[in-house]
Amino acid sequence: MEKVIEFSRLGSRIGRATLVREKSLNSLTLETINRLFAQIEDWIDDDDIACILLDSSSDRAFCAGADITALYHAIKSDDLAHADAFFTNEYRLDFMLHKTEKPVLIWGNGVVMGGGLGLLSGCSHRVGTPDNRIAMPEITIGLFPDAGATWVLSGLPDKLGTFVGMTGCQLSAGDALELGILDYVIEHEKKTEVINSLAALVWTDEASGNSMMLSELLKQFAIKESLPHQLLKHRSAIVGLIDRASDDDDFFDVFEAGMSTLEIDEWLVGAIETYQRGSATTARIFHEQLQRAPDMTLADTLRMELDIAGQCVRHPDFSEGVRALLVDKDRRPAWQFASTKEVPKSYVDEHFRSPWSGDHPLADLI
């Protein structure tokens, strides 16, 4: 059986969970999610554990997101229960991380995307590295920004989260730090030194004091100067475009036409091409997510995301997107609709209806 995660103790009072699926950039399986949830829940309830560390054995990546190939095969074999369980349990894990009072340090080095960003966003102390590539690229596979992305991206300043989710653009460490997605950026080569210092701390039984002590430690290693920026180099132009599009009766008319007016560089070309080749349905769904987000709690947004995820596994774009990108690898997905103009509002609305009868699977989240 493939090894997906390792659990250990660091010092006497730190629980450590390390993702070890290096070849897949630590993509998350249902087993990974279930084991991580059970262990972290135990650590939260264990008075001997003062701090939790979540990291990866890979120098390249913390986590590239869900194992979407496994989800594809589950959908194709009509095992919707597997797909439903994956998303339900993933969102429960994300919610638990957001809500625990104990400090949770995540070492989010290298690639942090999709469900990996969902894990990072829920942690109290979020460390990145200068080589970070951070993104929610679900538009490329006909899914949608999830794992708490509604909550995170709707909270970014100047509606920049709209561009991030629509284009799947990759954020640099400097972008993520300035936008509050990361709390600290530390050289990856310092990881061993940080961990040794962490183990040497004298922890107390008081969560807020432990949190402050951890913050002070991380500040000693953090760097802020000379960090790369990508999104924020274009901040003014992107904010202007999003504002104009948001003020118009048809967001997508203005957004899509306005892309050609931006000052283009290699990074921006990549973002625009990702949007143009992506699922028009995903774009419409994400826009609706953001419209609904302002009046929602974190629990509400996760329930909404689970409804959308449940519908995505029951509609064609998700499996078609994974087929084209990772199964047949022809990179020519036959999306249900060729453009955002063609996507009926009724079709978007379908994705916001719960596919389950009776109580919602996340009804107990508050």
pLDDT (tens digit per residue) in 220-275: 999 988 899 999 999 999 999 999 999 999 999 999 999 988 888 999 999 999 99
Please give the residue range of the domain that contains residue 249. Answer: 5-350
Whole-prediction pTM = 0.96
Question: What is the total count of domains within the chain?
Answer: 1
pLDDT at 2: 82
Mean pLDDT of the chain: 96
pLDDT on residue 247: 95
β-pair type (5-10, 51-56): unpaired
Retrieve residue 52's tokens.
């939790």
Q: What's the rounded mean pLDDT across residues 339-348?
A: 98
Read off the CATH number of the domain in which 310 is found. Answer: 3.90.226.10
Residue 169 lies in a domain: yes
Tell me which residue of 4, 144, 134, 121 sits closest to 64, measured CA to CA: 134
Check residue 333 and give its pLDDT.
97
> Could you tell me if residue 284 is inside a domain?
yes
Q: pLDDT (tens digit, 9 = 90+) per residue, 113-149?
A: 999 999 999 999 999 999 999 999 999 999 999 999 9
What pLDDT is stored for residue 224 in this prediction? Answer: 85
pLDDT for 225 equals 87
Rounded CA gap, 167 and 363, in Å? 31
Q: Angle at which helices 266-277 and 160-167 pack, to 10 degrees? A: 70
Q: With 80 as the cut, is the pLDDT of residue 354 above it?
A: yes
Residue 124 is classified by DSSP as S
Task: Please check whether residue 362 lies inside any domain of the structure.
Answer: no
| Cβ neighbour number for residue 322 with a 10 Å cutoff | 24
Is 190 part of a structural domain of the chain?
yes
SS3 of 6, please?
Answer: strand
CA–CA separation, 99 and 287 (whole Å): 26
Report DSSP letters for 296-346, one per residue: --HHHHHHHHHHHHHHHTTSHHHHHHHIIIIIS-------S-SSGGGS-HH
Question: Is residue 58 predicted with pLDDT exceeding 90?
Answer: yes
Residues 6+ apart with CB under 8 A from 353: 307, 311
Q: How far apart are CA 45 and CA 6, in angstroms?
A: 19
- Give the CA-trace dihedral at 53, 56, 60, 64, to 10 degrees: -100
Phi and psi angles of residue 110, each rounded to the nearest 5 degrees, phi first: 60, -125
Q: How many CB atoms lie within 10 A of CB 56?
A: 26
Residue 355 lies in a domain: no
Does 9 have pLDDT greater than 90?
Answer: yes
- Confidence at residue 14, expressed as pLDDT on a 0 to 100 scale: 98
- Is the model's pLDDT at 51 over the cut of 80? yes
Is the pLDDT reported for residue 36 higher than 80?
Answer: yes
If you average pLDDT over residues 208-219, what whole number do you get?
A: 98
In the predicted structure, residue 1 carries a pLDDT above the cut 80: no
Percent of the chain past pLDDT 70, that is, above it, reads 100
Residue 189 maps to a domain: yes
Q: How many C-beta atoms surround the C-beta of residue 260 within 10 A?
A: 8
Tokens 């040497």 correspond to 200
Q: Identify which has the larger pLDDT, 2 or 6.
A: 6
Is residue 365 in a domain? no
Residue 358 lies in a domain: no
| Residue type at position 89 | N
